[in-house]
Amino acid sequence: MKKSVKLIGACTLILCFFAFSLNSCSKEAEKNIDSKKNIAFITRMNYGYHWANVKLGADAAAREFDVNIDYAAPNDEEDIECQIKLVNEALDRDNGKKIDALILAASDYKALVEVTEKAYDRGIPVIIIDSEVDTDKIHSYIATDNFEAGQKAGKALVNIAGTDCKVAVISFVKGTRNAEQREEGLMSIINKYPNIEVISKEYCLSDVKLAYNLTKNIISNNSEVDAIVALNEVASEGAAQAINEMNLGGKVKIITFDSTLQEINFLEKDIIQATVIQNPFSMGYLGVKYAVEAMEGKQIEKRIYTDSKVIDKDNMYFPDNQKLLFPFTK
Amino acid sequence: MKIRIISSIKSYFSRLINAIKTRSIQFVIASSFMLVTILAMFFVGITLYGKVSELEEQNATITTRQVMDQVNMNLDFYIRSMMEISDYLKDSIYYCEDIENSNLTEEMEVIKNSRKDMVALAVFSNTGEMIAGAPTYKIKDNINVWEEDWFTAPLEDSTILFFSSPHVENIFEGQHNWVVSLSREITLNRNGKKENGVLLVDMNFNEIDQICNKVTLGKKGYIYIIDSKGNIVYHPQQQLINLGLKKENIDDVLEHAFGKYFDEYEGQRRLITIETVNNSRWRIVGVAYMDEISAIKESIGDYSLWIFAIGCLFAISMASFISAKISRPIKELEKSMKKVEEGQFDVNIDVKGDAEVAQLSKTFNIMVQKIRQLMDQIVVEQEAKRVSELNALQAQINPHFLYNTLDSIVWMAENGNSEDVITMVTALARLFRISISKGKNIITVREELEHARNYLIIQKIRYKNKFKYEIDYQEEVLELKTLKLILQPIIENSIYHGIEYMVDEGFIKISVSIVDGKLLYQVDDNGLGMKKQVLDNLLLQKSKSSNGSGVGVRNVHQRIQLCYGKEYGLDIESELEEGTSVKLWLPIVKDENLGDNKNEKEC
C-alpha cells in the first residue's frame, strides 16, 4: 500500500513537471518569435532627402509588418561596383541572418542584372524600387514613372517660361535609367514646341557643388538662358543656389525635382518656380510591403508607379500637398 | 537496458491487447477509469476555455476603454492648458488700453518660450493684419489669412473655440512644423477704438503625437483622432494616411459620438471604440484587432489541449496501473486455480490484495485444504479396504472354525456316525471351494447362498440340531452378483450370540429378495437379541466390545460400503428375548463381464 502511495506521488510529481515545462515552453516560444524575417534593403546612396524618405517609408512598413531591415548603400551614387558587392554580400550572408527578401534601388540599368537574377534564382522575393534593372527576373518594380515625371516637368516649363524660350537641362548621372527617362519625358514636351531651344545639357554626378558650378558656367556662357530644368534633388539645389547667389531669382526660371527643405525655402522665395515631387516614402513603404506579401506567397503586381506631382508656390500649402511636402518625421 | 525496456513495453502492450480481447477485469476497470477521467477533463477543459476566452474578451474591451480614457484625459489636460493660455491672453488683450503701445509682443514671446510645445502665438485684426506675434520671425509675404479656417471661423461665430486639423505652420518664414491651431475671437482696443480680432495659438503637433503614439491596443491595435468633419487629426501611420496608402472607415466612425462596434478591414475583424475629447470636437477612435484576442484564445486552446493530452496520458497510465494493481491478485488467484486444475494440491496462495480478493483467496485455500483432506481420507479408506479384504481372507480360513469342525468330524467318526461325517466333510469341502472360489471377490447369489447353507449344515451338526434354518429366495436373484462371504459372519453371529445360549430350539431364516431396486439379504433369528446399547455400537468403527463380538458383522458392513457406497450396508433390528433381524442391502449387479472386472479390481 505504501509503495502505491509512493508511486502515485511520483506520477503527480511528473505531471507537475510536465505542467511547468509546458509553461516555460510557451514562454520560450514567445521569445523565439523574435526571429523576424530579414530583408536586405540596398539603395543607390546613403544620404539625401530622397533616400531618407525612402527609408522612412521602409521603416514604417517594417514596424507594421514586423520585419528586420538591413540597409546598405554605397557612399557614392556612381559606385556601381560597390553596390554589386553589397548585394552579393547580402546574398551570401549565412550567419543566422540569412536574408528572406531583397529590395534594390539599382545604380545601373545593366550592371545590376547579374546579381538581381542571382537573387531571383535563389527563390527569394526581389523587389526593385526607384530605378529599373534590365531583367524580367524580378517580383515587382516600384518607382516613379520617370517618363511621365519628365513630361510633367516639361509642361510646368511651358506654363512658366512660355513656348518661346532657351532652356538648360541639368541632369545627374549620364546613362542612368531614371535620368534617361526623365530627359526623354521632358524632351517629348519640349519637342512639341519648336521655339523652345535646349541650349545646354549637363550632368552633375549627384554633386551639389558641381551642379552649382555648372549652373554658373551655363549662365555666364549663355546670358540669354530663360529657364533651367534640374532633373534630381542634387541638381536642383545646386542650380537654385547658383541662381540665388547671382540674384537672378525670377529672371531665370527653375523647374526642379523633389522637395528638400532647401528647395521648399527656395520655392517660397520664388527662386524655384515649380518642382516635380515624387513619393519616396511610398516607394520605401510599398517595397517592404510587397516583399512581405511575396514572402507570404501572395501574388503581387509586377509594376507599380507611385505618384508624381507638380508643386508651386501657390499650391504648396494645400492640405493634400503639404502632406506630401512635409513628411511626418518621428 | 534499452532492449529490456522495449521488451517490457512490448509485453505490457500485448498484455493490454489481451486484456481488451478477453474483456478482463483489468480492461473494464482501466477503460471505465479512463473514460470517466477523460470525460471529466474534457468537460472541465471546455468550460474553462469558454470562461477564460470570455474573460479575455471582456478584458480586452475594458483595457481598450481604460487606455482611451487615459488618452482622453491627457489630451483634455493638454488642450485645457492651451485654452488657459488663450484665456489669459484674451483677458490681457481685453484690458490693454492700446494694443499698439503695449508690451504684448514681449509677453507673448515669454509665454511661447516657456512652452516648448507652442510654435506660434499671434493676434490678427479683423482685417487680417497681424498686430502682434511670437516668434518674432518675419511673416511670410504670401500669406492670406482669409483663406484660413482658423481666421474666418471665429469671426463668423464669436462663441466658437476653433481647433484646426493638423497643418504645416505657414505664417512665419523658415518654419515648417506640423501644428494644430487653436483660435478664438477677441476684443482689442486699438487707437482708442474697440474692435474684434482673432487670437491664434499654434500647438506643436508633436505633443499630441507623443500623447498618442505610445498607446497600443494589443500588438497591432492603435488609436487615432479625427475632428468633427472627419479629418484625421492624428494617426500612428499618419504619413501612410497622408499618402493614401492606408485608409480608415471614417464614415462609420462619424455615425458614433461614442460607443463601440465591430468592423471589417482588409479581411480583419476589428473592435472600434469611440470617445469624444472634452472641450473639442475631436473623437478618439480605438482600433483593436479581434484576431489578437482570438490568438490569445488559440494559445489558451493549445495550452488546454496540451494539458488535456498530458492528462489523458496520465489518466491512461494511472488507469492501467490501478487496474493492474486491482487485478493482479485476482490473476494470481486464477493462476493458482489453474495449478489446482492441473492436480497440484499443495498450493497455498498468499494473496495480499483488497479485502474481497483476500477473502476469496482465503476461501480458496480452505477449499484446497478440504480437497486435500478428502484425498487423504480416500487414501485412508483404501487402506481400510485392504485391511478388510485381508479380514475377509482370514474369514475364508478361520482356523478356529476349521479346528472345531474337524474336531466334530473326529468325534463323529469315533462314534461310527459315518453318515454325519460324510455330510459334514462334504459341506466343509463345498464351503471352502466357494470361499476360495478362484480368488474372486464377486460371486453369484446362488454361490453365496450355497456357502451359507453349507456353513449352516456344519453348524447344525456341531450344535446337535439346536436350531433349524430356512433359506428363502426369489428365482431371479440367483444369478445376480454379490460380494462373497457376507452372510456367513452374520449367521455366525446369530448362532454364537443369539442361539447358543437359548433354552428353546433356535430358528434362522435367510431370505433374498429385490426390494426398492436393491438386493436384500435378510437374516432373522429368534435368539436372545441385543441390548439397544450394544446394537447402537455394533456398526460404529471404533467400538470394540469386550468379547470381540460383532467384529465380523462390522467387517461385512464396511466391505459392502467400501465396495458399493454409503447407501448400502447393514441394517440391524433387535429385540431382547425376541430375536434379531439383519438386513444386508446391496445393489443389483447383473452385468457379468463389466461388473466382474470392475468389482474384482475394486472390491
Q: What percent of chain A has pLDDT over 90?
A: 42
CB pairs under 8 A between A and B: 68
Q: Which of residues 205-244 of B touch A (CB under 8 A)?
A: 209, 213, 237-240, 242-243
- Judging contacts by C-beta atoms under 8 Å, the chain A residues touching residue B243 are 279, 281-282, 285, 323-324
- Nearest-Cα residue of chain B relative to residue A17: B310
End-to-end CA distance of chain B: 64
- In our burial notation (b when 16+ CB lie closer than 10 A, e otherwise), range A242-277 reads bbbeeebbeebbbbbbbbbebbbbbbbbebbbbbbb
List the alpha helices (DSSP H) in B342-398: 355-396
A179-188, B115-124, B500-509: which has the highest mean pLDDT? A179-188
For A224, the 3-state DSSP assignment is coil
Asked if B243 and A322 come within 8 Å (Cβ–Cβ), the reply is no
Residue B195: the pLDDT is 85
Question: Can you tell me the distance from the alpha carbon of B95 to that of B275, in angstroms, rounded to the nearest whole number?
Answer: 38
Distance from the B88 Cα atom to the nearest Cα atom in chain A, whole angstroms: 31
DSSP state of A279: -
A156-169 average pLDDT score: 91
Nearest CA-CA distance, residue A324 and chain B, Å: 7
- Enumerate domains of chain B plus CATH numbers: 61-290 (3.30.450.20), 397-602 (3.30.565.10)
Q: What is the pLDDT of residues B289-339, one digit of tens each?
A: 887 777 777 888 888 888 888 888 888 888 888 888 777 777 777 887 888
Higher-scoring residue by pLDDT: B63, B597: B63
Average of per-residue pLDDT values in chain B: 82
Whether B137 contacts chain A with CB within 8 A: no
Query: Would the pLDDT of B217 be above 70?
Result: yes
| Kind and range of the H or E run holding B187 | strand B178-190
Closest CA relative to residue A54, chosen from A278, A223, A213: A278
pLDDT at residue A313 is higher than 70 = yes
DSSP, res B499: I
What pLDDT, in 10s, does the model give residues A85-98?
999 988 887 766 78
Using alpha carbons, list the distances in angstroms from residue B377 to B275, B382, B386, B482, B601.
103, 8, 14, 26, 20
Confidence label for A15 from pLDDT (cuts 50, 70 and 90) = low
Nearest chain B Cα distance for residue A258, angstroms = 15
- Show the CA angle centred on residue B155, arms to residues B151 and B158, nearest 5°: 125
Q: Is B369 on the interface with A (CB under 8 A)?
A: no
Average pLDDT taken over every residue of chain A = 85
Of B176, B243, B306, the CB nearest to A282: B243
For A221-272, what is each residue's pLDDT tens digit? 887 889 999 998 889 999 999 999 998 888 899 999 988 888 888 988 889 9
- Residues of chain B contacting residue A317, judged by C-beta atoms under 8 Å apart: 167-168, 170
Subunit contact A11:B318, Cβ cutoff 8 A: yes
Shortest Cα distance from A54 to chain B (angstroms)?
12
The reported pLDDT for the residue numbered A273 is 93
**How much is the pLDDT for A28?**
45
DSSP B99: G
Q: How confident is the model at residue B113 (pLDDT cuts 50, 70, 90)?
A: confident
- pLDDT top residue among A101 and B168: A101
For the stretch A269-272, contacts whose Cβ atoms lie closer than 8 Å and that sit 24 or more positions apart, written own/partner, are: A269/A244, A270/A313, A271/A240, A271/A243, A271/A244, A272/A236, A272/A240
CB nearest A4 (choices: B239, B307, B325) = B325
**Which residue in chain A has the smallest CA separation from B166?**
A319
CB contact under 8 A, B239 and A327: yes
Q: Looking up cell 482696443, which residue turns up?
A: B189
**pLDDT band (50, 70, 90) for residue B61:** confident
Q: Is B509 exposed, middle or buried (0-12, 13-18, 19+ CB in 10 A)?
A: middle
Q: Looking at residue B582, what is its pLDDT? A: 92
The 10 Å Cβ neighbour count of residue B410 is: 11
Position A23 confidence tier, pLDDT thresholds 50, 70, 90: low
Q: Do B307 and A324 touch (CB under 8 A)?
A: no
B contacts of A264 (beta carbons < 8 Å): 176
For A60, the closest of B140, B178, B240 (CB atoms) is B240
The answer to whether the Cβ–Cβ distance between A56 and B243 falls below 8 Å is no
Interface of A with B (CB under 8 A): 4, 7-8, 11, 14-15, 18-19, 22, 26, 56-57, 60, 64, 261, 264-265, 268, 279, 281-282, 285-286, 313, 317, 319, 322-328, 330
B396, B435 contact by CB (below 8 A)? yes
Please check the confidence at residue A50 and state whether its pLDDT lies above 70. Answer: yes
Domains in chain A, start-ordered, CATH in brackets? 38-144+280-306 (3.40.50.2300), 146-277 (3.40.50.2300)
Q: What is the pLDDT of residue A103?
A: 94
| Residues with Cβ within 8 Å of residue A308, at least 6 apart in sequence | A144, A145, A148, A149, A152, A276, A277, A278, A279
Instruction: Determine whether the interchain pair A7/B321 forms a contact, defined as Cβ–Cβ distance below 8 Å.
Output: yes
